[in-house]
Amino acid sequence: MSLRIRRRMSNKNSSSSSGIGFPGLLTVLFIGLKLTGNITWSWVWVLSPLWISFVLSLVIAAIVVIAAVISDK
């Protein structure tokens, strides 16, 4: 097989998930609305999709760690 065919085959088999995601899109939307004057929220709430998803991830990670510690006993 030539190198070109191998590259095509390996590209077809690999999958990667990249993108901005829902919280990122919501944050961009809120920032746009804030900067254009369509909403008068404080910046804490404009950026809330980012920190809410971060806090939610931390809570889920803490639950997983606690469950792992309890199951080891």
Tens digits of residue pLDDT in 6-57: 555 555 555 566 788 999 999 999 999 999 999 999 999 999 999 999 999 9
In a domain, 57, yes or no: yes
Mean pLDDT on 50-70: 96
Q: Domains in the chain: how many in total?
A: 1
In a domain, 12, yes or no: no
Show the beta-strand stretches assigned E in the chain.
none
Residues of the domain holding 26:
21-72
In a domain, 43, yes or no: yes
pTM over 0.85: no
With a cut of 90, say whether residue 72 has pLDDT above it: no
Q: How far apart are CA 66 and CA 73, in angstroms?
A: 11
Please report the pLDDT score of residue 38 as a whole number.
Answer: 97
In a domain, 3, yes or no: no
Nearest to residue 34, comparing CAs of 44, 24, 23? 44
Q: How far apart are CA 28 and CA 20, in angstroms?
A: 10
Q: Model confidence at 64, in pLDDT bands (50, 70, 90)?
A: very high
Nearest to residue 34, comparing CAs of 47, 25, 23? 47
